Structure 1
Amino acid sequence: MQNERAYYIMAILALVIGVIFLLLLIIRFKINTFVSLVLTSVLTAILLGMDMTKIATSIQDGIGSQLGELSLVFGFGAMLGRLVADAGGAHTIATTLIDKFGRKHLQFAIMLASFIIGIALFFEVGMVLLIPIVFAIAVEAGVPILYLGISMAAALSVTHGFLPPHPAPVAISAVLGANVGKVLLFGLIVAIPSAYIAGPLFTKLAQKFAPSAFEQKGNLSSFGEMKTFTKEEAPSFGMSVLTSLFPVILMAITTVYQLGVNGGVTPKNPNTLDQIISLIGSPSIAMLISLVFAMFSMGWMRKRSTGDIMATMESAVKSIAMLLLVIGGGGAFKQVLIDGGVGDAVAKIFQGSSISPLILGWIVAVVLRVALGSATVASLTAAGIVLPLMSQAGVDPALMVLAIGAGSLAASHVNDAGFWMFREYFDLTIKQTLSIWTVLETVVSIVGILVVMILNLFFH
């Protein structure tokens, strides 16, 4: 018993040393995140006393299992998003919603437009696409840029943290064995109030405690030459929304069908319709079908040549190469933690504890987010740590995905790329960015875990 306790303490100590080592490599020595993750995985494996002949295999298994389906989802997703953007679809969605909502409800228009666009695009891409539109609308309406910018950032953030096919929710779902469609449905329930509270409501509070930030005029110089679209050049609103949401629609159809027809349980002898519905709802196939649809709706139907469409898609894939490697590195670190017994140690420590596994998953993700900056890496690492607790507690994996996702959004600061994007585009000081962006992300995180805990009361 004494030896077992000592082993668990050493396992936790190895994890702490590993995280500190990772921090030093990334923050102090500016080493590439992927390289840092792999180096940290090797060191942590050695500290955990793993058989050295199996360390390389563990790392390879972690990277391989992590990138298996995700490489398809991210690759197809990046291509889809770029096709929508280059055709003017994102521009159409934003401007149409703003026209419909009117000047009195500009915040809600921006939030809804950002939410729709954010489902199809990575956070950074969505921000780059939307900020010029937000700036133009703010100037025309005579309101502070940040007045609309906070709602935009909140909507993009919740889609990034809670909704498939974004990297973190899909990756955590794969680790925890959660149904992606269920994560999507629960994620929408979590994301909507989180976006509203961290967007329009938080803006009112921010205007009181950081009024100087709302006086800034913003900075568009980093965007270079901005591409504009006339009404004739851009696709219709309906087609733009349909294309952006096509993968979500396919996954939702599958989830609703499985819940309604099969009670959410995979049948032992599925019929042909069951198999077809299951196929089109799997993330990789849903993204592939959606990409083919986008090639028509945002490409050939817009009189774009095949060569032009392919160039757009190739460019999109190049932009996510490092993201894929970083996610793979996160998978390697996660696998080492699992194979080295860290997850078992955490499970043992909290065994019999009154702390909800959902709260624990959230706390672990918050700590890692603050330490590492990357929401995706924090999510993957947290998922690996809490995985052993899942079977003991009987927690719905979909809710754990969202709890970890909420934690991974908290307290974004100087080690997060999103922090610097927000600061640069809105031309804020570090103090102002901490007052607005960091608090905004923390509000999303807290509201997110509260909604998850409420859902847990009904779906435990």
Structure 2
Amino acid sequence: MPLLIVVIGILALLLLIMGLKLNTFISLIIVSFGVALLLGMPMEEIVKSIEAGLGGTLGHLALIFGLGAMLGRLIADSGGAQRIAMTLVNKFGEKNIQWAVVAASFIIGIALFFEVGLVLLIPIVFAISKELKVSILYLGIPMAAALSVTHGFLPPHPGPTVIAGEYGANIGEVLLYGFIIAIPSVILAGPLFTKLARKIVPDSFVKTGNIASLGEQKVFKLEDTPGFGISVFTAILPVILMSIATIITLLQETMGIEDTSLLAIIRFIGDASVAMLLSLLVAVYTMGLARNIPMKTVMASCTTAITQIGMMLLIIGGGGAFKQVLINGGVGDYVADLFKEASLSPILLAWMIAAILRISLGSATVAALTTAGLVIPILGQSDVNLALVVLATGAGSLIASHVNDAGFWMFKEYFGLSMRETFATWTLLETIISVAGLAFTMLLSLLV
């Protein structure tokens, strides 16, 4: 019965969002109330559960997400992202242009959220395509693969960050293991998959695309942008800080090193929130003040970044509310009992639930959060590495993007593809990332 109520809730969510075109956040809150009532939760507990879910989720995420959005916007508005892309293109050369696009998109994807990275990189891809006379899709698939992989696996992106918080996983470990999984996944879904896509839908590789809807793009003269080294350093500084703290902590645990004040300071600096704040302050200088850009202009970029993520934060909060209703309403415990005797790995189970919800709901973040509500009670029965469950959930939440996902339509319109061509490129690309992510996570689980 609890699972039937969850299915009814998901169908209601689809009806509200796709049928009635209701805002996703409002739809999530309505469904949260409805599911809570159907689960028989006491009325006085329903509002408390929804508020706790929304507040608890955003309490962990808002700081990292907000600071990350500002950091990415400063790198984009200063021309740092353009400098990274064009320098790598020049260094790799025409013969290895796909790998240049992968490297540039991966570095930029760490700092910029998926939609922002897509809007920023597509005009650059179009310009390179025109200059080198190669297909835009030949460059577009590796670009989209790199952006999608960073979005699904690497903090400070919302999915892995919020799920790490929900599962109680070490965010540094998620980042470290995320890199190990992300690199082979992006190679498979990017340059290698492009060869297969060319055979499946050859006509799509002669399309010219259309980016008129992006409006006039700010293009910098390369000499007016920050240097390549400082741009890359600024973009990946949060990753460096979090990774150092995680590696040192793992070494300390493995070698039994006694705790000291220095190690405590390193852990403090490597905390996701502190790392993001320090990185933002560095970016204010390197991308702004060091280049004689007034503080007022720099802060205007930060304000724009926050304005753009306001609704996304609410949607994530709404997903957290739905997740909490599932836990407090007993659905999570019901699922835990269901799989108590089964030998199914929590990693595989998390991926399967996230994949089903992703196909149903469209939103990767909402799918991942709803998965948390069903999987958290199971984690108490297992000694599985929580960082790997985070990555499996992230992988499942990327699978089979189709007509209920905004990314599907963005890719289709920008590259001028038909529905069939979009399914054969974008949807298949996302599925490869998802399945590869699961496979590499399962392999990693044998070692850690």
Q: Could you say which TM-score interval applies, normalised by the shorter chain?
A: over 0.9
**Match status 1:446 vs 2:420:** no
- Give the aligned partner of residue 134 of structure 1: 125
Matches within 5 A, 1:29-428: 29-263=20-254, 270-428=259-417
**1:46, 1:52 within 8 Å by CA — same for their partners in 2?**
yes
Match among 396, 402, 424 for residue 435 of structure 1 = 424
**1:217, 1:426 within 8 Å by CA — same for their partners in 2?**
yes
Cα deviation 1:112-142 (Å, max 9, x = unaligned): 1000000010000001111111111111111
Whole-angstrom CA distance in 2 between matches of 1:264 and 1:366: 38
Q: CA deviation at 1:83?
A: 0.3
Cα deviation 1:33-67 (Å, max 9, x = unaligned): 00111111101111111111010000000011000
Q: CA deviation at 1:264?
A: 9.3
Whole-angstrom CA distance in 2 between matches of 1:32 and 1:223: 23
**1:69, 1:284 within 8 Å by CA — same for their partners in 2?**
no
Secondary structure class of the residue paired with 2:398 = coil
Q: What letter is aligned with 2:353?
A: V
Q: CA deviation at 1:342?
A: 0.6
**1:258, 1:264 within 8 Å by CA — same for their partners in 2?**
no
The RMSD of aligned alpha carbons is 1.2
Q: TM-score, normalised by structure 2?
A: 0.98
Q: CA deviation at 1:277?
A: 1.3
Whole-angstrom CA distance in 2 between matches of 1:50 and 1:282: 37
**1:42, 1:55 within 8 Å by CA — same for their partners in 2?**
yes
Secondary structure class of the residue paired with 1:428 = coil
**2:60, 2:162 within 8 Å by CA — same for their partners in 1?**
no
Whole-angstrom CA distance in 2 between matches of 1:241 and 1:127: 18
Against the structure 1 CA distance between its residues 264 and 210, is the aligned structure 2 distance closer, same or farther, given a 3 Å change threshold? Answer: farther
Cα deviation 1:127-170 (Å, max 9, x = unaligned): 11111111111111111000010000000000000001100000
Q: What letter is aligned with 1:78?
A: A
Q: What letter is aligned with 1:361?
A: A
Secondary structure class of the residue paired with 2:343 = coil
Q: CA deviation at 1:270?
A: 4.6
Match among 21, 28, 41 for residue 12 of structure 2 = 21
Whole-angstrom CA distance in 2 between matches of 1:237 and 1:285: 25
Secondary structure class of the residue paired with 1:36 = helix
How many residues align? The count is: 448
**1:366, 1:410 within 8 Å by CA — same for their partners in 2?**
yes
Q: What letter is aligned with 1:210?
A: V
Give the percent of matched residue pairs that are identical in Structure 1 and Structure 2: 57
Secondary structure class of the residue paired with 2:340 = coil
Q: What letter is aligned with 2:418?
A: T
Whole-angstrom CA distance in 1 between matches of 2:439 and 2:46: 39
Against the structure 1 CA distance between its residues 322 and 198, is the aligned structure 2 distance closer, same or farther, given a 3 Å change threshold? Answer: same
Q: Which runs of 5+ in 2 are unaligned?
A: none
Q: What letter is aligned with 1:241?
A: V
Q: Which runs of 5+ in 1 are unaligned?
A: 1-9
Q: CA deviation at 1:424?
A: 1.1
Whole-angstrom CA distance in 2 between matches of 1:49 and 1:15: 13
Q: CA deviation at 1:231?
A: 2.2
Q: CA deviation at 1:25?
A: 0.8
Q: TM-score, normalised by structure 1?
A: 0.96
Secondary structure class of the residue paired with 1:458 = coil
Whole-angstrom CA distance in 2 between matches of 1:100 and 1:415: 39
Q: CA deviation at 1:23?
A: 1.1
**1:127, 1:153 within 8 Å by CA — same for their partners in 2?**
yes
